[in-house]
Structures are given as C-alpha cells and as structure tokens.
Amino acid sequence: MSQIAIDGPAGVGKSTAAKNIAAAKNFMYVDTGAMYRTIGLACLERGIDVADEEKVSECCAGADIDIKYIDGVQHMYLEGRDVSTDIRKEEVGKAASDVSKFAAVRERLVALQQDLGNRYDVVMDGRDIGTKVLVNADLKVYLTATSQCRAERRYKELIAKGETCVLEDIKKDIEDRDRNDMTRAISPLRKADDAIEIDTSEMTAQEVTDEIIRLFEEKNGSKTC
C-alpha cells in the first residue's frame, strides 16, 4: 500500500492538496481532523465539558462513530446520522482541538486511521500523521504558512460564501488553535524528522498539489498501487 502523510497547522491548505492528490493518484483521502471533529460534536451535543477528560473519554468510548466513502468522498456518521456538514462549524473545530488532547480519544482514532492506511493507498492529513499514525509513510510532508497568510485565505473563503467575519478574529482563532495543537502532551503537532517542509505562503493550491505529487513520484516512481 502507498501512503502519503501531510501534517501542518490549521488553514495551511492540507485538505485541498490532499483531495487533489487523491483524485490525481486514485488514492483514498483520509481526513483525520474530521474524526476528531466528530468526537468534539458528540461532546457538544451531549453538553459535555470538553476539558473534562473522564467525561470526554466516556463519550468517545460509547459514541457510535462510522466513516464511509461515497463517490470517493469521506462522510462521518455519529449515531447513524451523517454529520459531515455539522462538523465544519468553527465551534466544533475548537472542541475537536480540545478533545484531541486526551489519550482515550487519540488511541481510538489512531487505530482507525492506521487500519485504513494498512488497507488502502492513502493520502492522509492531520497533525500527527508523520510522527505517529503512518510512521513508515512513503512520503511525509509538513506544510507551513504564516498565520497572517492562513487567516487571509480563510477570510476570503468565508467572504466568498457570503459570511460576515473579521480578519483579526480569524487570525486570533488560528493562533489559539496552533498553540493548543502544538503544546499538548500527547502527539503534539510537529514536523517529523523525515518530513519535507513546504512553505505554502506564496504558493497556489495547485502548486502545492503538484509539488507533493512530484516529491512522491521522485521517491517512489509513479506507482499507484
């Protein structure tokens, strides 16, 4: 099986690149953030304090979480309900970052991610893919961009969707999330020693995609299976 691991902070363009690569190489795109978001949503819906490790761990152990691929697109299910849209809300992203600190949550989701990585050709994105989930990946990439640049990209996306937002607030949220994800005790966000770092600040999504495919093919030939 072929494995491409992409890590990096919030809003750096991991998922756009990963989706494009999956389409180009006929790999499965595994969005691990969506899994943490599903646990975050489960806690929010049950009124559980996302800082309460015992309650969050209990919720995670008991939650009926499923992942399905429909026309190549990952869908997340919570108690049989497709929550793929609900998990995209900003408050769910914050809750995901909080619940992802806890060992019970990480153990359950890492096992699921490793199982997918063992069974399919995958391009997987997240925060600990190169350092923990797919330690033997064929290619590990760590994407970076300044928080100003990431905030501006997110701002433009939201404005294009007709939402009202303030650039400074988005930048602050991104920096808070970076701090949360980089300073937790278990599997904090960091570049794996053998990952290739790409600063995407001055690159288009297509350029990032092409560069990762080029690196993969350079290391592994143009194998697709």
Residue 29 touches ligand DC, criterion: CB under 6 A? no
- For 222, the token pair is 């143009």
- Cα 170 to Cα 103, 109, 158, 163, 201: the distances in Å are 29, 28, 10, 13, 17
Smallest separation (angstroms) from ligand DC to the CB of 127: 4
How far is Cα of residue 12 from the mean position of the Cα atoms in its chain?
Answer: 10
CB 159 within 8 A of CB 165: yes
Residue 131 touches ligand DC, criterion: CB under 6 A? no
Residue 37 touches ligand DC, criterion: CB under 6 A? yes
Where would I find the beta strands (DSSP E) of the chain?
Answer: 3-7, 28-31, 65-70, 73-78, 81-82, 122-126, 139-144, 196-199
- Count of residues in contact with ligand DC, rule CB under 6 A: 15
Q: Which residues pair with 122 in a beta bridge?
A: 3, 28
For ligand DC, the closer of residues 19 and 177 by Cβ is 177
Residue 10 touches ligand DC, criterion: CB under 6 A? yes
Site string for ligand DC, 158-177 (x = CB under 6 A): -------------------x
Residue 140 touches ligand DC, criterion: CB under 6 A? no
Smallest separation (angstroms) from ligand DC to the CB of 223: 25
For ligand DC, the closer of residues 59 and 217 by Cβ is 59
Residue 200 touches ligand DC, criterion: CB under 6 A? no
User: First vs last Cα of the chain: how many Å apart?
Assistant: 6
Residue 151 touches ligand DC, criterion: CB under 6 A? no
Point out which residues bind ligand DC (CB under 6 A): 10, 32-33, 36-37, 93, 96-97, 100, 126-129, 177, 181
